[in-house]
Amino acid sequence: MKKKLAILLTTVLVFGMTLTGCGNDGGNTPAPEEGQNAESDAGNEEQPAENEEKEDQKEEEAGSDASDLKVAFITPQATGDNGPVDDIMLAIDRVKNDYGIEVQVVEALDTTDQEDAVRSFAAENYDVIFTLFQQFVEPVRKIAPDYPDTKFIMIYATDDLGMDNVVAYAYDAWETSYAAGVLAASMSESGVLGNVVGYEDDTIVANSNAFLAGAQTVNPDATVKRVNAASFEDPAKGKEVGNQLIADGADVIFTDAARTSLGVIEAAQEASGDVFIIGDNSDHSALAPSAVIGDNIYGYGNTLYNQISDIVAGKFESGVIVCSVGNGISVLQMYDDFGSDGASDELKSKYKAAVEATNEIIEKIKNGEVTVEKDTSAK
Amino acid sequence: MTQLIISMIRCATPILLAALGGIICERVGVFNIALEGMMLFGCFFAIYGSYLSGSAWIGALVAMAVCGAVGFIFVKLTEDMGAEPTITGIGINTLALGMTTYLMKMVFGEGGSISAGNKISGFERIEIPFIKDIPVIGEILSGYTPLVYLTFILVPILSFLLYRTHMGISLRAVGEEAHAAQAAGLSVSRFRVISLIVAGMLCGLAGAHLSLGYVTLFSENMTNGRGFFAYVAVVFGKADPVSVMIAALVFGLADTLSTKVQGNGIPSSLVLMLPYVVTILALMVRSTMTGNGKKLFHSNLKTKEVKQ
C-alpha cells in the first residue's frame, strides 16, 4: 500500500514539474506589432546599427550558413511578462524570420537552475548563449573560460569579465526615463507622478531620479512617489499599488515592473479621472489606448537582434557595451494612435504637444545638448 | 486613513476567503497546505469560465467546481490512501502552477499572462444605495466587488455553523477526536470528504475573486503566496472564523503598509519585510499564548491504527 502511494505521489509531483517545464518553453508570445523602434530611426553611430539596414542585408545573407548558428537564450523570468522577456521574444521571432535561426529559449526561474542552464548549453557546443539580467554574471564568469568557442552575451549586466568570448550589455535607461519625465509632466494635471518598480537596483533608482529631473524641467513643483512592489510578476499587487498612488493624487504612473504593471494599467483604466501610464519594455498601448502614453524600451530585443546580425556578419566585440538613446537601442516609444478608443480631441492634442516636447528633449539628449547623469541617491 | 482601510480590506479578502476553506479543513483534522494551489486553479478556471460564458458568476462557479474536485482528490489521497498530507499538498501546489501555465498556453495560446481584452468579464463593483452617500463610512463600505461582501458575510455564517449547529459539533468532533466521533456513529471519512470539497470550493471562490474581482486577468502564479498567508491566518486564528478574519485583516494591513509607507526616507526593502515580520511575530505570540506549538486538530484514525 505504502509503496503504491509513494509511486502515485511521485507521479503527481513529477507530472506537476513536467507541466511547469512544458508550459514555459515555447516562444509564441503575441506579436502585436512589428515596428518596435518607432523612435529610433536616427543616430546609429557605432557598432549596433539600425534594423532597417539589417533587413536589407539579410536578404543576401539568408540561406547561407547563418541558420546553422546554434543560439540559446536563458531567461530568469517567465515569458509573457509584457516586459523585458516579451521584448526579447519578439526579437527572437524577427531573428527567425530574417536569418532562419531558431533560438532555443529556456526559463531558468530558480537561481539554482541558472548555472546549470548556462553550462549545459555551453557543453552542447552552442555558438551563442544569451542571458538576461545581472544574476548570470557569476555563472558566466565560472563557465566561459572552459568554452572559448562559445560566445556569452549578458543582457543587462555591467561587469566587464575581461574574456574574449563574453560581452555585457549595460543600459543607460535613465536617458529615456528623463524623457519619460518630460512626457509625464506634460500630461499631468496634479504634478504628482507615480513610479512603480519591481525591485530597486542602481539602474532603477537612477531611472526614477532621472524621471523626476525630467519632470521638473516642465513643472518645477513636480514630485515623484516611488513604490517598490517587490515583484515583477504580481499584477494583483500592482493594481493595489496603482490604486494607492491614484488615491494619493498621482495622475501619471511610470512603471518598471514587467508583469506587475498590468495591474497598474488596470487601476489607471478604472480610475475616475484621466490617469496615464508609461510602461516598460513592451508595447502596452493595445491594452489601454487611452491610458498608455508611452513605453520605456531599454532595448533588450534590439540588443539581441543586432548582436546576432553582427555575429552572422562575422563581427564580435567583447567587454561592456553601453546602450543608450545615442546609439538608437534604447527608445521611449510613443503612440500615434493614442486614444483610439474614444479619447476627447482635446486630450489627443494635448498628447500631441507632449510628444513633441518629449521628442525635442530626446533630440537634445542625442546630440549632447542635454546630458542625463546617473544619479543613484535615495530621494 | 479611509484609503488605508479600504486598501486593507481589499488586500485581506483573497486571504480570508481561502482561509475560510482552511478553517474547515483544520476543523475536520485534515492538514491542508494546498490552499495556494487550489486558489491558483480557481484563478485560472474562473477566467476560463468567464471567457467561455461571458459571465463572471459562471466563471466563479466553474472555479468552484474544479476546486471542489481538487479538494476531493486531495482528501481521497490523504484519507483513503493514507498519503502524507504535506507532500500531497506540495504536489497539488506544484501541479497547479504547472497545469495552469500549461493550460493557459493551450487555451489562450499565450504565455505569462492573459487579459484577452473584453472577452473576459470581471465582477462589477457594487455601490450600495444610501450607505454610499454617508461620508467616510460609505466610502469604506461601498464600492467593492460582490465577492468581498460575500466573504465577510460568510464569516458569521461559518461561525454559526461551527458552534451553533449539530452539524458543526459533529464536524469539530471529527477533527478533535476522530475515534470518539466514530464511536458516536459519525462517518469520519464522509465528513472529511464533504468538508474538503467545500473547502476546495471556497478556495476556488478566492481564486475567482483574485482573477475576476481584484484584477481582471490571469497571470502565471498570480496567487503569489496568498494561499500560504491564508494558512498562517488559520493557524493564527486557531481555526476560529472571527479570529481568522482578524488575522487576515492584520496581514492585509501589513501588506498595505508595506507599499504605503515607502518613500519617506525608509529603505523600501525594510518596509517590504513587514508582512513577513508580522506573520512570524503573530505566530510567536500565538504559540506563547497557547503554550504549545502543536498542530491544532489533527486527530487521525489511520496513524493511530498504524501505531498500535
C-alpha separations of B166 from B109, B155, B163, B171 in Å: 49, 18, 8, 8
B5 contact A CB<8A: no
Q: Between these two residues, A49 and B245, which has the higher pLDDT value?
A: B245
Whether residues B217 and A82 touch (CB distance < 8 A) is answered with: no
Residue B259 domain flag: no
CA distance A220 to B190: 69
Query: Residue range B93-120: average pLDDT?
Result: 83
Q: Is the pLDDT of residue B254 over 70?
A: yes
Residue B45 domain flag: yes
Nearest to B94 among A13, A30, A240 (CB): A13
For the domain spanning A37-172+300-323, the CATH number is 3.40.50.2300
Question: pLDDT tens digits for B196-224?
Answer: 999 999 999 999 999 999 888 898 889 98
Q: What is the DSSP string of A307-371?
A: HHHHHHTT----EEEEE-TTTTSSEEE--TTTTTTT--HHHHHHHHHHHHHHHHHHHHHHTTSS-
Instruction: For chain A, positions 264-323, list CB contacts with chain B under 8 A.
Output: 266, 287
B3 contact A CB<8A: yes
Nearest to B91 among A12, A28, A235 (CB): A12
B274 contact A CB<8A: no
Whether residues B7 and A5 touch (CB distance < 8 A) is answered with: no
Q: Is the pLDDT of residue A50 over 70?
A: no
Whether residues A15 and B224 touch (CB distance < 8 A) is answered with: no
Q: Is the pLDDT of residue A21 over 50?
A: no
Collect all residues of chain A within an 8 Å Cβ-Cβ radius of residue B269. Answer: 200, 228
Q: Find cell 546602450 and name the residue.
A: A323
3-state secondary structure of A297: strand
Residue B295 pLDDT: 53
Residue B156 domain flag: yes
Q: How many CB atoms lie within 10 A of CB A132?
A: 24
Question: pLDDT tens digits for A56-70?
Answer: 444 444 444 667 889
How far does A52 lie from chain B, in Å, by closest CA?
A: 28
Using only the alpha carbons of chain A, give its radius of gyration.
Answer: 21
C-alpha separations of A364 from A174, A235, B28, B162 in Å: 14, 35, 69, 70
Q: Is the pLDDT of residue A45 over 60?
A: no
Collect all residues of chain A within an 8 Å Cβ-Cβ radius of residue B120. Answer: none
| Containing structural domain, residue B122 | 12-228
The residues spanned by each domain of chain A are: 37-172+300-323, 177-297+336-366
Which of B217, B256, B270 to mutate against chain A (most A CBs within 10 Å)?
Answer: B217
How far does B99 lie from chain A, in Å, by closest CA?
A: 6
Collect all residues of chain B within an 8 Å Cβ-Cβ radius of residue A26. Answer: 105, 111
Number of domains in chain B: 1
CA distance B50 to A310: 47
B220 contact A CB<8A: yes
Whether residues B11 and A240 touch (CB distance < 8 A) is answered with: yes
How far does A316 lie from chain B, in Å, by closest CA?
A: 32
Q: Is the pLDDT of residue A19 over 60?
A: no
Angle in degrees, CA B159, B161, B163, rounded to 5: 65
Q: Which three cell numbers stand for residue A155?
A: 543582457
Q: Is the pLDDT of residue A26 over 50?
A: no
B10 contact A CB<8A: yes
Q: Which three cell numbers stand for residue A10?
A: 511521485
Whether residues B109 and A28 touch (CB distance < 8 A) is answered with: yes
B170 contact A CB<8A: no
DSSP secondary structure letter of residue B202? H
Q: Between these two residues, A3 and B37, which has the higher pLDDT value?
A: B37
Q: Find cell 504535506 and name the residue.
A: B86
Whether residues B263 and A236 touch (CB distance < 8 A) is answered with: no
Residue A377 pLDDT: 81
Identical topology for domains A37-172+300-323 and A177-297+336-366: yes
Residue B73 domain flag: yes
Whether residues A262 and B92 touch (CB distance < 8 A) is answered with: no
How far does B220 lie from chain A, in Å, by closest CA?
A: 8
Residue B281 domain flag: no
Range name among A1-10, A87-96, A241-250, B25-34 with the lowest pLDDT average: A1-10
Residue B1 domain flag: no
Residue B13 pLDDT: 94
Q: Is the pLDDT of residue A13 over 60?
A: no
Q: Is the pLDDT of residue A196 over 80?
A: yes
Range name among A31-40, A274-283, B108-117, B243-252 with the lowest pLDDT average: A31-40
Paired residues of A333 in beta bridges: A295
CA distance B183 to B188: 10
Q: Is the pLDDT of residue B307 over 90?
A: no
Whether residues A244 and B260 touch (CB distance < 8 A) is answered with: yes
Instruction: For chain A, positions 159-188, list CB contacts with chain B under 8 A.
Output: none
Alpha helices in B124-261 (DSSP H): 137-141, 146-164, 166-176, 178-183, 188-208, 226-236, 241-260
Q: Is the pLDDT of residue A186 over 50?
A: yes
A376 contact B CB<8A: no
How far does B52 lie from chain A, in Å, by closest CA?
A: 20
Q: How do beta strands A166-171 and B113-114 pair?
A: unpaired
C-alpha separations of B308 from A354, B80, B294, B304, B305 in Å: 79, 19, 22, 7, 5
For chain B, what is the mean pLDDT?
Answer: 87
Collect all residues of chain B within an 8 Å Cβ-Cβ radius of residue A29. Answer: 110-112
Residue A111 pLDDT: 84
Range name among A135-139, A154-158, A284-288 with the lowest pLDDT average: A284-288
- What percent of chain B is modeled with pLDDT above 70? 91
Residue B90 domain flag: yes
Question: pLDDT tens digits for B136-158?
Answer: 888 888 889 999 999 999 999 99
Which of A3, A11, A20 to mutate against chain B (most B CBs within 10 Å)?
Answer: A20
pLDDT range class, residue B263, cuts 50, 70, 90: low
Instruction: For chain A, positions 44-73, list CB contacts with chain B under 8 A.
Output: none
How far does B111 lie from chain A, in Å, by closest CA?
A: 5
Q: Which residue of A has its CA nearest to B210?
A: A236
A345 contact B CB<8A: no
For chain A, what is the mean pLDDT?
Answer: 82
Range name among A17-31, A168-182, B72-86, B99-113 with the lowest pLDDT average: A17-31
Residue B288 domain flag: no
Residue A32 pLDDT: 39
Question: pLDDT tens digits for B188-200?
Answer: 989 999 999 999 9
Whether residues B112 and A259 touch (CB distance < 8 A) is answered with: yes
Q: Find cell 500630461 and name the residue.
A: A187
Angle in degrees, CA B267, B268, B269, rounded to 5: 95
A240 contact B CB<8A: yes
CATH of A177-297+336-366, one of 3.30.450.190, 3.40.50.2300, 3.40.50.300, 3.30.200.20: 3.40.50.2300
pLDDT range class, residue B303, cuts 50, 70, 90: very low
- What percent of chain A is modeled with pLDDT above 90? 44
State the burial class of residue A285 (Cβ atoms within 10 Å of its Cβ: 0-12, 13-18, 19+): buried
A230 contact B CB<8A: yes
How far does A341 lie from chain B, in Å, by closest CA?
A: 13
Q: Find cell 455601490 and name the residue.
A: B127
Q: Which residue of B has its CA nearest to A248?
A: B3
